[in-house]
Structure 1
């Protein structure tokens, strides 16, 4: 190609304007927003397809008395939130279950973090207590729930005790592993600089195990709700577990599904709150994308 031809192409070619930083950010945000809308649209379509198929099958082929259907479940939810339940206001039932779950979650988390971290840094006591911890973890929780009802009655205490047992082991093993994974060189350097055991535990071990501990909280709160419902199912005077147990006893499939939906919504809200708290607590940790820029 001659120089004259190249000059003509260069003259006739349209000039491409360089995008500013604000334009690039706006384009990326718009693309991300469109992608998010597509994801939520697909989720909504799947839910509509699932519920519509269920409604159709239950209306034409299967017995809704046993399998229920979305319209009956919606009717039961509307009844509970407008007229109340057999055991009082639905808000009282929700509050009772959430109160049991939150109290047990806090106690179980604190106990799991403290004992998990201490045993994670003490191999001697970890070896001594290992068989006892494994044996306790192997005990069926429903059996413990029954025992707690005998010991503490049908009130709040028996449900909280059940929740504590479920949450404790979920947090304990993560805290234990996180404490074991701390870099030994960092601890040795701190000892050389004169740091005490308490300073090492508070300034090095706990921050290093924070990621492990926080990741366990997502699962732990799910266990907390399970523990509260199982305790109420075994014996209670109020709560969502009692509503589900009563619905089972009266062959009210719609009531069982309605209780499950309420528990699921509560669990999702708690998951969101824990995620927000986790993001704020771990702001100091660089993301993988940021850490890869220097490679």
Structure 2
């Protein structure tokens, strides 16, 4: 008497395991967001309780007053106007500095002779505190938006350049030699090997540069400006308005978070294979 034996589909077990891992990853992310929210609520609660009781609110302000200040600035449009000015300065300086840093990094990375010649000059300029250049930039470019953009670009340039240069120098010499044997010229080598291999290094530099781009814009506004979040911060400091100072700092942090998110999104678009690799690792 024959007995029917039903075997499970070959892909059923791996698919089930992958589904469980995806569900576990979702629960983990939800737990992280809940923990973050709880931590934020706890910090604000302790802050609100301490202000005026344990520590004078003249020094730390009150979260309720900070929220009122932010709401007042948002309702009047002042927050978006000054935040937009700072965002433009940081973004344009970031783009300019990144473009120059990547270009110079690729050129010097592919020309060891030129890199050796320029190495001491690059080291000297990199070691120089970029904030010290602000008075010179004011002298050269005035106190307008141009000065903040160029100062920001100078700060961003070195971070992107060093990462790009390191990425280009780390490219496999065997791959380049094989391409040359196949008749590839420098343009083919850059497009097929150098840029794809160094792009991870480049994006590391870009991520590191985002907060420094904002620092450049804010420092320029603190030194000489009547617009931007740095101006709001300096104006609040001049009036000894602690709540307004914290409100300006919170606005700066929110802007930094938005810029970081934009860079991460662009990295996801430029390197889609990283998301595929992450999903593949999750399914193993």
Question: What TM-score, normalized by structure 1, do the two folds share?
Answer: 0.86
Work out which of the residue numbers 31, 49, 62 in structure 2 matches 1:69.
Answer: 62
* Residue 54 (str. 1) matches residue 54 (str. 2): no
CA displacement, residues 31-55 of structure 1 (integer Å, 9 cap, x when unaligned): 3332222211111111111111111
Greater Cα shift, 31-40 or 165-174: 31-40
- Report the Cα offset of residue 265 of structure 1: 1.1
Greater Cα shift, 110-119 or 144-153: 144-153
- Report the Cα offset of residue 113 of structure 1: 0.3
Equivalences for 1:16-165 in 2 at 5 Å?
26-84=19-77, 89-165=78-154
2:208 is matched with 219
Residue 108 of structure 2 contacts residue 115 of structure 2 at CA under 8 Å; is this kept in 1? yes
Residue 21 of structure 2 contacts residue 283 of structure 2 at CA under 8 Å; is this kept in 1? no
Distance 2:190 2:129 in 1: 33
- Report the Cα offset of residue 222 of structure 1: 1.3
Distance 1:201 1:23 in 2: 43
Distance 1:203 1:119 in 2: 18
CA displacement, residues 210-230 of structure 1 (integer Å, 9 cap, x when unaligned): 010012111112111110001
Distance 1:151 1:173 in 2: 26
Question: What TM-score, normalized by structure 2, do the two folds share?
Answer: 0.89
**Which of the pair has more CA radius of gyration?**
1
Alignment partner of 1:60: what SS? coil
Of structures 1 and 2, the one with the larger relative CO (CA 8 A, separation 6+) is 2
- Report the Cα offset of residue 293 of structure 1: 9.7
Alignment partner of 1:251: what SS? coil
- Report the Cα offset of residue 291 of structure 1: 7.8
Distance 1:22 1:186 in 2: 37
- Report the Cα offset of residue 82 of structure 1: 1.6
- Report the Cα offset of residue 124 of structure 1: 1.0
* Residue 199 (str. 1) matches residue 188 (str. 2): yes
Aligned length: 274
CA displacement, residues 33-86 of structure 1 (integer Å, 9 cap, x when unaligned): 3222221111111111111111111131211112212112111111111235xx
Structure 1's unaligned 5+ residue stretches are 1-16
- Report the Cα offset of residue 269 of structure 1: 1.5
